[in-house]
Amino acid sequence: MITYVRNNYPDIVSDLVQHLWLALIPVALGALLALPIGYLAVRKGRRLYQPIINVGAILYSIPSLALFLMIPVIIGVGYLSPLNVLIGLTLYSMALLTRTVADALVSVEGEATQAAAAMGYRPIAQLVGVELPMAAPVLFAGLRVATVANISLVSVGALVGAGGLGNLFTGGFQLGFIEPIIVGIVLSMLLAALCDVALVLLQRQLTPWTRTGARA
Amino acid sequence: MSLALLVPPTPMINYFGYLFDGANWTFGGDSSIPDRLLQHIFYTLAALLIGALIALPIGLLIGHTGKGAFIAIGLGNLGRSLPTFGLVLLLVTMFGVYIWPVLLALVVLAIPPVLAQTYAGIRSVDPAAVDAAVGMGMRPLQVLFQAEVPMALPLIISGLRSALLQVTATATIAAYASFGGLGRLLIDGLNRNQYDQVLAGAILVALLAIVLDYLSAAIERAVVSPGVRQRSTRRRTRASTQTPAQEGAVSSR
Amino acid sequence: MITFDQVTKAFPGGTVAVDDLTLELPTGQITVFVGPSGCGKTTSLRMINRTIEPTSGTIAIDGEDVSTQDAALLRRKIGYVIQHAGLFPHRTIIDNIATVPLLNGVNKKQAREEAMQLLARVGLDESLARRYPSQLSGGQQQRVGVARALAADPPVMLMDEPFSAVDPIVRDGLQKEFLRLQAELGKTIAFVTHDIDEAIKLGDTVAIFRVGGHLAQVGTPQQLLDDPADEFVADFIGRDRGFRGLSFVGADKLEVEPVASYVDGGGARLVLDDDGRPLGWSVDGSPSPQPLAGTFTTQDNLRLVTDLAISSPAGVAVRVDVSGVADGVVPHEAIARHLTELRRESKR
């Protein structure tokens, strides 16, 4: 195993880097897009909640490869482009995070938000200054799930020419060696664990009030 | 007679040629869609069944006794971060291009969501109801099956449903390792640069997944008591943790 | 009859929840275990149906040691009511009530019919039978919990703070219903509460526990109010012991003065309607009478009479008969005289 890594170091690293941006950019984009949609789902009358969630659920149930391969028809890029993976994963992240945002906003409704409205906060300011911070734990939990899921899904992109560490899987399979596959699996899981920890640390940084008070 | 005659003659017709070609819809032969479909469904359900048979009792046991929680939660997390594609290819490379390594991979992938959600389900049961059940004179197995399981059913079923999606998706990708199923259309189409075949595969797989998900939702509605159904928007979820249902509902595909 | 014989419960960490408890719970009566948090009252209760096992000592029901019986079968003969009802959310109300009979093998139809009768007995409408617990209010759920405990007609009932989780008005209603039921059924009941007023209201016998699982005092509510054993008990019972004790003295022997003496004449006048029912007090000739704080009957107690007399502008409580017609008045001097008389009688 060690010799394999030593011999193929540059390829592994470039796969890793590709994997990272293929996984993380969609999460960020998906989160950004999910915010307004999730907000709409719960703040402009609950009639929109069920349909939006349903669409998200349907989207999320589509297997990744199928999604990656349907996108070229819709946007007209070649089906071997990384754009398919990026767009596909963004759609998945959006589907997942819309539900997270909606549920998070519902969970913070209550005395604090009523107090904020009574104090004269306008809706956007209230959203940014009061509700999102309070909803941070739920939001971050969703972000963590979406990130880990994406990291696993990127490897499927190897079949459409943009797979990050997935290239190690296909390479190993074709040559009949398990070393690349094992390296790929281990790195993928390590990456997932690291991103998870990073998100937890970020959450702690952004929400200092949750660190205290547990001792009460 | 080819259904292609019914489709308006635009450049797009190339994409749907495979899907609407009648020859592909007969049984037998190597481009048979029904064959692939049945194969896909069969192995998906088989893997789910075997995985559930293993994970359900363990999940119930861990949830009921409270011991070994770290196994349930740890495996749940592990399952989420394990790259499914990698696992399938690993097993096939190790054991050869047969069906059973793929099936093994599918079973292994089905276990974590079922285990984690079954455990979460039993833990989420109202302790007062369990106390009442014991205090009224139910024996341990009666408490488990007449009280705890019915109350835990929404979460247990959500675990089964997410395992179903997981397995369906992974079975698709397994076609790369010469597995059959609808993924075959995608892989072969890619290899031969026949995009209409690829699209046919993609649409059919997506439809299959959606239909299976819909059917499992219907089963859930039929099986879960009306008194226990979760009402997501009306119930306040606690801001400190993600609801277990949502966490378990995410799996890689 | 339930007997505790030198029962002790020590938990593995070293805490002694119940310490050498010896106590008798008389048959057909309500015995209340009351005390502050950590006094062992709930632990003691749960040792009766063996949901907690004693470290040493014996508990017996009608002479039979409970530890010798099959735990599950023992529990089916004991009604168990807990604080948040613990109803099964996945079963309808009627099936919840029928749980123990169904466990015992009674056929479904019969069990459900009997459950319907119990539903009516606890004061619930039969339209609730097919609903689910989540559709009922807290007070309704609690009543279902009681019905469920009664389903197998057990001679013994254990109740662990059954009325604590509902609001005071609902609680008051539940307590009255409970006393009415017990008057009909005469079960042997062990009742746990942290509320001394509830204990005094409901208990035939009250056992006050001290933190650490010792009995501080056992007796009737009247005994406890009149004669607390030590400072802890006196503190726990709280203030106004004397006044609260008046609720155990009946108003039936109280002498009344004729109503007419307050209908005419100066000062505050009692205004009656055509049938003789009291409408209110007219003070200094004003046209609209102030409504009464209430009236009392011979079935009520002295505490109520005293309160009525104090809140009336004339300093007088009005007694009515069964049809609501005023048949006597009691000024507060008469109450004081009556109390002096009672004191004299008790000293003889």
Q: Do C134 and B227 touch (CB under 8 A)?
A: yes
Does some domain include residue C251?
no
Instruction: Count other C-beta atoms under 10 Å from residue C322's C-beta.
Output: 9
Query: DSSP class of residue B237?
Result: P
Subunits with 3+ Cβ pairs within 8 Å of A are B
CB neighbour class for B77 (10 Å; exposed up to 12, middle 13-18, buried from 19): middle
Min mean pLDDT across C89-103, C205-219, C317-331 is at C317-331
Average pLDDT of span A75-89: 84
Min mean pLDDT across A55-69, B19-33, B45-59, C75-89 is at B19-33
- Helix (H/G/I), strand (E/B), else coil: C256: coil
Question: Which pLDDT value is given to residue A124?
Answer: 79
Q: Do A65 and B90 touch (CB under 8 A)?
A: no
Helix B84-95 × helix B99-123 angle, to 10°: 140
Question: Which pLDDT value is given to residue C343?
Answer: 84
C-alpha C218, offset from chain centre: 17
Phi then psi dihedrals of residue C339, to 5 deg: -65, -40
Query: DSSP class of residue C119?
Result: H
The percentage of residues in chain A with a pLDDT greater than 70, rounded to a whole number, is 97
C-alpha B158, offset from chain centre: 10
| B27-41, C208-222, C261-275: range with highest mean pLDDT | C208-222
B203 interfacial to chain A (CB closer than 8 Å): yes
- Helix (H/G/I), strand (E/B), else coil: A34: helix
Specify whether C205 is located in the same domain as C275.
Answer: no
Specify whether C219 is located in the same domain as C106.
Answer: yes
Q: Do A63 and B251 touch (CB under 8 A)?
A: no
Q: Which amino acid is at B211?
A: V
B230 — pLDDT class (breaks 50, 70, 90): low
List the beta bridge partners of residue C34.
Answer: C193, C208
| Residue B241 distance to chain A (closest CA, Å) | 6
Does some domain include residue C302?
yes
Specify whether C15 is located in the same domain as C159.
Answer: yes
**Residue B188 to residue C212: CA distance in whole angstroms:** 76
Question: Which pLDDT value is given to residue B15?
Answer: 66
User: Do the Cβ atoms of C132 and C93 come closer than 8 Å?
Assistant: yes
What average pLDDT does chain A have?
Answer: 87
User: Do the Cβ atoms of C76 and C70 come closer than 8 Å?
Assistant: no
Q: Which tops the pLDDT comparison, B237 or B4? A: B4
Q: Which two tokens stand for residue C299?
A: 């079935």
Sheet holding C16-25, edge to edge: C16-25, C2-10, C56-61, C64-65
* Domain topology for A2-207: MetI-like fold (1.10.3720)
Q: Which two tokens stand for residue A194?
A: 């690291």
Question: Which pLDDT value is given to residue B32?
Answer: 77
Q: Report the relative pairing of strands C278-283 and C268-272 from DSSP bridges.
A: antiparallel
Q: Report the relative pairing of strands C156-160 and C78-81 from DSSP bridges.
A: parallel
DSSP per-residue letters across C142-196: HHHHHHHHHTT--SEEEEESTTTTS-HHHHHHHHHHHHHHHHHH--EEEEEES-H
C252 — pLDDT class (breaks 50, 70, 90): confident
- Using the predicted structure, report yes or no on whether residue C50 has a pLDDT greater than 50: yes
Does some domain include residue C216?
yes
**Residue B169 to residue B163: CA distance in whole angstroms:** 10
Angstrom CA distances, C216 to A197, B252, C52, C212, C228, stand at: 55, 62, 22, 11, 9
Q: Which two tokens stand for residue C328?
A: 């006597």
- For residue C75, what is the domain's CATH number? 3.40.50.300
- Total-model pTM: 0.81
CB neighbour class for A49 (10 Å; exposed up to 12, middle 13-18, buried from 19): buried
C253 — pLDDT class (breaks 50, 70, 90): confident
| Residue B242 distance to chain C (closest CA, Å) | 23
B62 interfacial to chain A (CB closer than 8 Å): no
Q: A117-130 pLDDT, tens per residue? A: 888 888 778 878 88
- Helix (H/G/I), strand (E/B), else coil: B202: helix
Q: Which tops the pLDDT comparison, C63 or C345? A: C63
**Residue B53 to residue C95: CA distance in whole angstroms:** 30
B37 interfacial to chain A (CB closer than 8 Å): no
Query: DSSP class of residue C61?
Result: E
Specify whether C194 is located in the same domain as C328.
Answer: no
| Residue C27 distance to chain B (closest CA, Å) | 21
User: Count of A–B CB contacts within 8 Å?
Assistant: 177
Residue C80 exposure: Cα atoms within 13 Å on the Cβ side: 29
C88 interfacial to chain B (CB closer than 8 Å): yes
- Using the predicted structure, report yes or no on whether residue B237 has a pLDDT greater than 60: no
Continuous H helices in A44-165: 49-61, 64-75, 82-108, 111-119, 123-126, 132-154
- Judging contacts by C-beta atoms under 8 Å, the chain A residues touching residue B199 are 69-70, 73
- Judging contacts by C-beta atoms under 8 Å, the chain B residues touching residue C72 are 137-139
**Residue C134 to residue C299: CA distance in whole angstroms:** 39
Residue B193 exposure: Cα atoms within 13 Å on the Cβ side: 1
Subunits with 3+ Cβ pairs within 8 Å of B are A, C
- Judging contacts by C-beta atoms under 8 Å, the chain B residues touching residue C99 are 136
Specify whether C235 is located in the same domain as C286.
Answer: no
Average pLDDT of span A165-176: 90
Question: Which pLDDT value is given to residue C265?
Answer: 61
Min mean pLDDT across B6-10, B69-73, C193-197 is at B6-10
**Residue C123 to residue C179: CA distance in whole angstroms:** 13
Helix B195-223 × helix B183-191 angle, to 10°: 170
Residue whose pair of structure tokens reads 């940014």 in the numeric block: A128
Q: B116-160 pLDDT, tens per residue? A: 999 999 998 999 999 999 999 999 999 999 999 999 999 999 999
B with A: 3 or more CB pairs under 8 Å?
yes
**Residue B200 to residue B178: CA distance in whole angstroms:** 18
Question: Which pLDDT value is given to residue B213?
Answer: 92
List the Cα angle C27/C28/C34 in 5-degree steps.
Answer: 85
**Residue A174 to residue A176: CA distance in whole angstroms:** 6
Question: Which pLDDT value is given to residue B246?
Answer: 42
Does some domain include residue C252?
no
B28 — pLDDT class (breaks 50, 70, 90): low
User: Do the Cβ atoms of B184 and B175 come closer than 8 Å?
Assistant: yes
- C222 closest CA partner among C198, C240, C246: C246
Q: Who among B176, B206, B232 is closest to A103 (CB)?
A: B232
User: Do the Cβ atoms of B138 and B214 come closer than 8 Å?
Assistant: no
What average pLDDT does chain C have?
Answer: 89
Q: Which two tokens stand for residue B184?
A: 């075959």
Query: DSSP class of residue B238?
Result: P
Question: Which pLDDT value is given to residue A213?
Answer: 53
**Residue A57 to residue A159: CA distance in whole angstroms:** 25
Q: Which tops the pLDDT comparison, A8 or A16? A: A16
DSSP per-residue letters across A37-78: HHHHHHHS-GGGHHHHHHHHHHHHHS-HHHHHHHHHHHH---
C70 interfacial to chain B (CB closer than 8 Å): no
Q: Which tops the pLDDT comparison, C264 or B111? A: B111
Average pLDDT of span C224-240: 88
| Residue B247 distance to chain C (closest CA, Å) | 24
Query: DSSP class of residue B98?
Result: S
Q: Which tops the pLDDT comparison, B11 or C232? A: C232
- Judging contacts by C-beta atoms under 8 Å, the chain B residues touching residue C75 are 134-137
- Using the predicted structure, report yes or no on whether residue B11 has a pLDDT greater than 50: no
DSSP per-residue letters across C234-291: HHHH-S-HHHHHGGGSBSTT---B-THHHHSSSSEEEEE-TTS-EEEEEETT-SSPBP
Instruction: Count other C-beta atoms under 10 Å from residue C86's C-beta.
Output: 26
List the Cα angle C104/C105/C106 in 5-degree steps.
Answer: 100
B with C: 3 or more CB pairs under 8 Å?
yes
Does some domain include residue C220?
yes
Range(s) of the domain holding residue C306: 260-347
- Judging contacts by C-beta atoms under 8 Å, the chain C residues touching residue B136 are 75-76, 80, 99-100, 103, 148
**Residue B252 to residue A92: CA distance in whole angstroms:** 10
Q: Where are the domains of chain A?
A: 2-207
C74 interfacial to chain B (CB closer than 8 Å): yes
The widest CA-to-CA distance across chain B, in whole angstroms, is: 73
User: Do the Cβ atoms of B171 and B40 come closer than 8 Å?
Assistant: yes
- Chain B's closest residue to A42, CA to CA, is B233
Specify whether C180 is located in the same domain as C320.
Answer: no
Q: Do B142 and C103 touch (CB under 8 A)?
A: yes
Average pLDDT of span C113-140: 92
- Chain A's closest residue to B162, CA to CA, is A61
- Using the predicted structure, report yes or no on whether residue B243 has a pLDDT greater than 70: no
CATH of B33-226+242-248, one of 3.40.5.50, 3.90.79.10, 1.10.3720.10, 1.10.760.10: 1.10.3720.10
Overall number of domains in chain C: 2
B78 — pLDDT class (breaks 50, 70, 90): confident
B240 interfacial to chain A (CB closer than 8 Å): yes
Q: Which amino acid is at A195?
A: C
Question: Which pLDDT value is given to residue C261?
Answer: 77
- Which of B130, B131, B136 is most worth mutating to test chain C (most C CB atoms within 10 A of its CB)? B136
- For residue C284, what is the domain's CATH number? 3.10.580.10
- Judging contacts by C-beta atoms under 8 Å, the chain B residues touching residue A148 are 80-81
Q: Do B82 and A99 touch (CB under 8 A)?
A: no
CB neighbour class for C263 (10 Å; exposed up to 12, middle 13-18, buried from 19): middle
Question: Which pLDDT value is given to residue B14?
Answer: 64
Average pLDDT of span C254-279: 79
Q: Do A65 and B172 touch (CB under 8 A)?
A: yes
C105 interfacial to chain B (CB closer than 8 Å): no
Specify whether C214 is located in the same domain as C278.
Answer: no
Question: Which pLDDT value is given to residue B118?
Answer: 93
Q: B164-219 pLDDT, tens per residue? A: 999 999 999 999 988 888 888 888 888 888 888 888 889 999 999 999 999 999 99
